[in-house]
């Protein structure tokens, strides 16, 4: 089961649906019920231009998104696609679709709109399988591979609203691979060899590209995912509609393009004509494809009886002109494929097959682009039903994880992966990777941290994603505070932090103080990075890798020296009557102030020699030496193994535990 971007939701008539809107947080609204005024899918499309009908489409573009996370460009790119206005000023930062029914406006979350589609799909399944209406169905829902934690959680909320129990969220390209494997469309792996596969899933509203392997014994493994959750066939249709508008304005100079496009009725007519032209031009065989010498028609007639102000529009629209409109999209898809290949040093010849999925993969230029980057005809697999293979794959996965298991053939196994590095902030601004991109899911990783101050009562667990080793340069996923930790000197508490990604690709972070058993657990629901943001992050990290390594190394040196100075200040603080106390404490405080003034933005101006000079100054000072001898300590700095004075636990001191880092 999946919510398709091409589905249109129709709301009309006088009766209100029983939907309770949410006014404060992200709690799930009540279950929706259908009235005679609600149409779904083709019935909605057929009623699209009737009076008093309100059509909503592409709700998946904003499901699970928060207003502050949407750039002005993102808002602009989708505002004409939904068919209704979008309210971006909601107090809870959740965009809402403004649905007008018989003159009355209602603001609905995307989850509520999607719930109508899910409920309709479930009703069709119940009827086909003769399942009672009151039976609560367990469902597997497919989503774009690049969906974020928040978008996945919102999809699960839509299932609840529809009265369904979502047992698994699965990536659409992954479902397609499962379908192709089930239908035996791949060559059989020989011996212990595996087949390298790529899936290009280009649907109505999203683009997903996955690279994986098909192993013997029905084992499918996903290694890399990328794509764009804001790029699909609807964007191509809009580009063609604007091209048709350009032709119309050239033919009718009395009209202004902006005026026509802002006219809702005219824009819908252009979009409908563009959709028809896109389908017609890409469903016909060309001369090369037909294998004959016959001249094959590569143009289509576009006719709109009354585009605006009673003026008709008629033109011949060619495949060549369509391909020119599609060229920017083709280049974007090619760029995503090549950056994935670059990460693993792949070439086209290494792939057994590239699997085309989604209705928009019928566009001829996609196959042309794949050939231009090295794929041969026999590598491009178009045997599956482009519209149904994802749903079939979801059914296969449901058979794997559900209660009613088919046993007449071997069970397939599936290994999916994390799309981006997930990190925790330590040592002021260092981003330590806990889970790296490409790691198979579900997965779980724990690491032990400690405190950086005496008698610290709480620690902040700051989680981010991205390629940079500097936390402030990554995308923040969220943060949570662990309170009630052991009241002890710095370096003594043992705080175990666990990152866990479940089979639905949802991240959960927990922390436990091993001494007091104080604990917290939190789901990181903040919106994740877009594919473009991820790529910019990786490019920036690659371009600045040496500088980042230098900054991280200097931040660690800063932490080491601060630890030494704080340890000395603690010890000499017990001997304030010593004649050299004022001199020693003044020198230590001065050096501490110099270190505290350094941060990510300016520490690169220093070098290792700066920290060595501070170290030499405090370890050779006679006043400090004298008072430290009285205190029973040493003015020596940290040794080559980074064993801090003052009893800070390290990997050596906690041999049964993972390496210990200072928590932020």
| Count of CA atoms in the C-beta half-sphere (13 A) of 609 | 1
Q: Report the distance separating Cα 486 and Cα 195, nearest Å.
A: 52
Residue 154 burial by Cβ neighbours in a 10 Å radius (0-12, 13-18, 19+): buried
Residue 330: predicted pLDDT: 95
Please list, in sequence order, all residues whose beta carbon lies within 8 angstroms of the beta carbon of residue 551, skipping any fewer than 6 positions away.
469, 470, 600, 603, 604
The mean per-residue pLDDT over the stretch 97-103 comes to 72
Write down the pTM of the prediction: 0.60
Higher pLDDT, 70 or 280: 280
Helix/strand/coil for 244: helix
Residue 317: predicted pLDDT: 94
Asked if residue 663 has pLDDT above 60, the reply is no
Residue 244: predicted pLDDT: 95
Helix/strand/coil for 314: strand
Residue 577: predicted pLDDT: 79
For 399-424, the pLDDT digits (tens) are: 877 665 555 555 555 556 776 788 99
Fold match between domain 8-163 and domain 418-542: no
Residue 24: predicted pLDDT: 32
Q: What angle do CA 152, 156, 157 make, to 5 degrees?
A: 115
Residue 455: predicted pLDDT: 81
Q: What is the mean pLDDT of the chain?
A: 76
Residue 249: predicted pLDDT: 94
**What CATH architecture does domain 170-411 belong to?**
2-Layer Sandwich (3.30)
φ and ψ at 108, to 5 degrees?
-120, 135
| CB contact at 8 A, 22 and 161 | no
| Domains of the chain by residue range | 8-163, 170-411, 418-542, 544-633
The mean per-residue pLDDT over the stretch 371-393 comes to 87
Task: Tell me which of 146-150, 186-190, 427-431, 588-592 is least confident.
Answer: 186-190
Closest alpha carbon to 323 in 378, 284, 377, 278: 278
Asked if residue 562 has pLDDT above 80, the reply is yes
CATH number for region 8-163: 3.30.420.40
- Tell me the pLDDT band of 48, cut-offs 50, 70 and 90: low
For 460-498, the pLDDT digits (tens) are: 888 988 778 888 888 788 888 888 888 888 788 889 999
The mean per-residue pLDDT over the stretch 73-85 comes to 61
Asked if residue 180 has pLDDT above 90, the reply is no
Residue 535: predicted pLDDT: 60
For 583-641, the pLDDT digits (tens) are: 888 888 888 888 888 888 888 888 888 888 888 888 888 888 888 877 766 555 433 23
φ and ψ at 312, to 5 degrees?
-85, 165
- Tell me the pLDDT band of 268, cut-offs 50, 70 and 90: confident
- Tell me the pLDDT band of 53, cut-offs 50, 70 and 90: low
Task: Tell me which of 105-109, 187-191, 290-294, 361-365 is least confident.
Answer: 290-294
Residue 324: predicted pLDDT: 95
Residue 479: predicted pLDDT: 84
The mean per-residue pLDDT over the stretch 567-584 comes to 83
Residue 393: predicted pLDDT: 86
Residue 214: predicted pLDDT: 76
- Tell me the pLDDT band of 316, cut-offs 50, 70 and 90: very high
| CB contact at 8 A, 75 and 88 | yes
Q: What angle do CA 198, 235, 373 make, to 5 degrees?
A: 35
Residue 653: predicted pLDDT: 26
CATH number for region 418-542: 2.60.34.10
Asked if residue 335 has pLDDT above 70, the reply is yes
Residue 660: predicted pLDDT: 40
Residue 302: predicted pLDDT: 94
The mean per-residue pLDDT over the stretch 530-552 comes to 67
Highest mean pLDDT: which range of 100-114, 206-220, 412-426, 560-574: 560-574
Q: What is the largest CA-CA distance in the chain?
A: 105
Asked if residue 322 has pLDDT above 90, the reply is yes
Higher pLDDT, 46 or 2: 46
Residue 505: predicted pLDDT: 72
- Tell me the pLDDT band of 78, cut-offs 50, 70 and 90: low
Asked if residue 579 has pLDDT above 70, the reply is yes
Residue 285: predicted pLDDT: 65
Task: Tell me which of 19-33, 331-345, 499-513 is least confident.
Answer: 19-33
């Amino acid at each position: 089961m999946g919510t398709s971007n091409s589905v249109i939701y129709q709301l009309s008539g006088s009766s209100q649906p029983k939907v309770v809107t949410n006014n404060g947080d992200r709690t799930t609204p009540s279950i929706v019920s259908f009235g005679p005024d609600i149409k779904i899918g083709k019935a909605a499309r057929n009623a699209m231009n009737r009076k008093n009908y309100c059509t909503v489409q592409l709700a998946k573009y904003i499901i699970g998104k928060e207003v502050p996370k949407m750039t002005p460009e993102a808002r602009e790119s989708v505002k004409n696609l939904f068919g209704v206005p979008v309210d971006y000023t909601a107090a809870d930062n959740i965009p809402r679709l403004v649905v007008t029914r018989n003159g009355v406006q209602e603001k609905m979350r995307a989850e509520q709109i999607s719930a109508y589609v899910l409920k309709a799909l479930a009703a069709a399944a119940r009827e086909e399988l003769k399942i009672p209406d009151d039976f609560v169905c367990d469902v597997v829902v497919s989503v774009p591979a690049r969906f974020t934690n928040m978008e996945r959680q919102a999809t699960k909320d839509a299932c609840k609203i529809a009265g369904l129990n979502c047992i698994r969220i699965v990536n659409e390209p992954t479902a397609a691979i499962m379908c192709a494997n089930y239908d035996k469309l791949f060559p059989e792996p020989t011996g212990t060899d595996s087949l390298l596969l790529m899936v290009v899933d280009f649907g109505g509203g999203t683009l997903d590209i996955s690279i994986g392997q098909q192993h013997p014994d029905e084992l499918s493994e996903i290694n890399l995912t990328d794509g764009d959750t804001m790029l699909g066939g609807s964007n191509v249709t809009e580009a063609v509609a604007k091209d048709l508008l350009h032709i119309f304005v050239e033919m009718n100079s009395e009209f202004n393009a902006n005026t026509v496009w802002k006219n809702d009725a005219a824009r819908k007519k252009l979009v409908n004509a563009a959709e028809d032209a896109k389908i017609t031009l890409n469903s016909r065989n060309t001369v090369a494809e037909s294998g004959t010498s016959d001249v094959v028609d590569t143009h289509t007639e576009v006719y709109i009886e009354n585009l605006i102000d009673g003026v008709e529009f008629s033109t011949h629209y060619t495949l060549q002109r369509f391909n020119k409109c599609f060229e920017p999209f083709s280049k974007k898809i090619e760029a995503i494929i090549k950056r994935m290949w670059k990460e693993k040093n792949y070439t086209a010849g290494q792939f057994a097959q590239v699997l085309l999925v989604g209705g928009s993969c019928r566009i001829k230029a996609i196959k042309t682009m794949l050939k231009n980057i090295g794929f041969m005809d026999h590598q491009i697999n178009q045997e599956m039903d482009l519209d149904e293979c994802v749903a079939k794959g979801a059914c296969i996965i449901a058979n794997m994880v559900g209660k009613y298991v088919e046993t007449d053939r071997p069970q397939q196994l599936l290994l999916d992966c994390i799309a981006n590095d997930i990190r925790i902030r330590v040592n002021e601004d260092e981003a330590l990777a806990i889970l790296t991109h490409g790691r198979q899911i579900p997965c779980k990783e724990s690491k032990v941290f400690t405190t950086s101050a005496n008698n610290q009562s709480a620690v902040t667990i700051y989680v981010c994603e991205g390629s940079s080793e500097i936390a402030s340069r990554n995308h923040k996923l969220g943060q949570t505070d662990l309170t009630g930790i052991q009241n002890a000197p710095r370096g003594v508490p043992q705080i175990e932090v666990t990152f866990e990604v479940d089979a639905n690709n949802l991240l959960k972070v927990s922390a436990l103080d091993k001494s007091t058993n104080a604990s917290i657990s939190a789901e990181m629901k903040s919106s994740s990075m877009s594919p473009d943001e991820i790529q910019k992050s990786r490019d920036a990290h690659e371009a600045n890798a040496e500088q980042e390594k230098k900054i991280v190394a200097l931040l660690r040196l800063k932490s080491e020296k601060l630890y030494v100075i704080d340890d000395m200040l603690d010890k000499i603080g017990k001997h304030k009557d010593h004649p050299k106390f004022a001199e020693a404490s003044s020198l230590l405080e001065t050096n501490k102030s110099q270190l505290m003034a350094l941060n990510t933005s300016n520490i690169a101006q220093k070098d290792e020699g700066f920290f060595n000079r501070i170290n030499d100054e405090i370890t050779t000072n006679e006043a400090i030496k004298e008072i430290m001898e009285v205190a029973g300590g040493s003015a020596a700095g940290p040794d080559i193994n980074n064993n801090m004075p003052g009893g800070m636990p390290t990997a050596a001191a906690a041999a049964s535990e993972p390496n210990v880092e200072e928590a932020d």
